Amino acid sequence: MSNSELTSLIVVMLLLAGLAQILGLVFVRLRQPKVIGEILAGIILGPALLGRIPAFCSLVSRVEHQSGVLDFVYWLGLLLLMFLSGSETQQLFTREERREVGWLAIVGSGIPFVLALGAGSWLIRPSLSGPNGNRASLMIILAVGVAVTSVPVVSKIFSDLKILHTRFARLVLGVAVLEDIVLWLALAVATAMAGKGALDPRKMGWHLAETTGFFVAGLTIVPRMVKRLNKARFNVLVQQSPAGYAMAVLLAYCAVAGALDVSLVFAAFLAGFAVVHKKRRLFADALDAIGKVSFAFFIPVYFAIVGLKLDLIRGFSLGMMLAFLLGSCAVKMLSVGLGGRLAGFSGLDLVNLAMTTNARGGPGIVLASVAFDAGIISSKFYSTLVLAAVLTSQFAGAWLEYVLRRGWPLLLPKLGDREATALAQEDRRAA
């Protein structure tokens, strides 16, 4: 790489990281998810706005085509996001309120997934398909897009509103965790099927079996092996550099997944799930250090590049976006309302649960990125999924802030929720 090429790369990185942090901070001040500002940074730098300036467009294009560094940073940010999301899964999931979580997860997510999967043959159109897309993989992507709920974005909203330790937060995060585990498996199957239409059934079946086996082993057997390795006396690395050891686990998972031709995104999620366990938090400080670096640079740049890929001029369909947004929100919220009703909730409780679990956030964006990079979906469907994830997250954050500002309870009639809600209201009045 020449000096001029390196300089161009540094300038583009500076613009992506700097504008993502600035706009992310602006949206935090507006009590909106930070990820919206980070994606907006990429949109501003992309073909819809500054990308229309010939000199700037030439600079970005030169960096994209002459160097793989931008792609590496994009993928590293995605892998770190999934790794940290996997570790959050272990930290946030509890066994309390099993009945409520079960109803909300099975009915609230199961119905949207099954309905979208069943109606996929009528809903799938050529405009949704990418170069490697086939009917089966597109139907799975559509079903996951309708049913998914965001763990990272929802937990960040709860943290910002100071309600992370309420019963309401536990219920929503428990549901989101169960959803993500099942839906990531479905997405892994979809990517394994992408572009495999010409393969013989035996080879395709073997590939799907490898993907499913890797995912199941990563949730059951391998975490126990990693747990024993964590406590082994000969493991000098975990004692001297826990952060380095955690990164080594991430890279090892990705290396094995790559050898098996399994998506690295799911490997990163499973690595985060395996490296942390409930009874012995060996890596609290290490994951905190990795998280600080990741959320300071790599993850904001990843979301900025997601926005950079959005072509809101040629790769956007307003009709497709409105149809998907309205249809998916209606199905998801009605299903969660039904699940909540069966779990014993009513009134405002159902509205709060439905609005919050409708937030697609980070997983919705990752779904779009993985499917688009695998060639399953078109640029228009990619833009639709990303914008739907952004808008549903914004709606959820704005609604919860409104409910708390009005002094309404998130759930009735638990005392812990009342105390936490009152504390959050006092903190906002003091600010």
The whole-number mean pLDDT for each consecutive block of 10 residues of the chain, a chain of 431 residues, reads 82 92 89 81 85 78 72 89 75 63 87 89 84 85 85 67 76 76 75 61 69 82 87 83 92 92 81 71 80 91 86 83 93 94 91 90 80 88 89 87 88 56 52 49
Element containing residue 211 per DSSP (H, E)? helix 201-219
pLDDT of amino acid 200: 55
pLDDT of amino acid 250: 94
pLDDT of amino acid 360: 84
Taking only Cα atoms into account, the Rg of the chain, rounded to an integer number of angstroms, comes to 21
Q: Which CATH number fits domain 6-430: 3.40.640.10, 2.60.40.10, 1.20.1530.20, 3.40.50.720?
A: 1.20.1530.20
pLDDT of amino acid 337: 93
- Please list, residue by residue across 266-286, b when 16 or more beta carbons sit within 10 angstroms of its beta carbon and e when fewer do: bbbbbbbbbbbbeeeebbeeb
d(CA 229, CA 129) in angstroms, rounded, equals 44
43 neighbors 307 (Cβ within 8 angstroms)? yes
d(CA 196, CA 189) in angstroms, rounded, equals 12
Instruction: Show the tokens assigned to 283.
Output: 């890596």
pLDDT of amino acid 413: 59
pLDDT of amino acid 426: 52
Domain chopping of the chain, boundaries? 6-430
pLDDT of amino acid 277: 58
**CA 316-134-76 angle, 5° bins:** 65
Estimate to the nearest angstrom the gap between the alpha carbon of 83 and the chain centroid: 11
DSSP letter for 234, please. T
pLDDT of amino acid 48: 75
* C-alpha dist (Å) from residue 264 to 83, 156, 251, 271, 326: 11, 25, 10, 10, 32
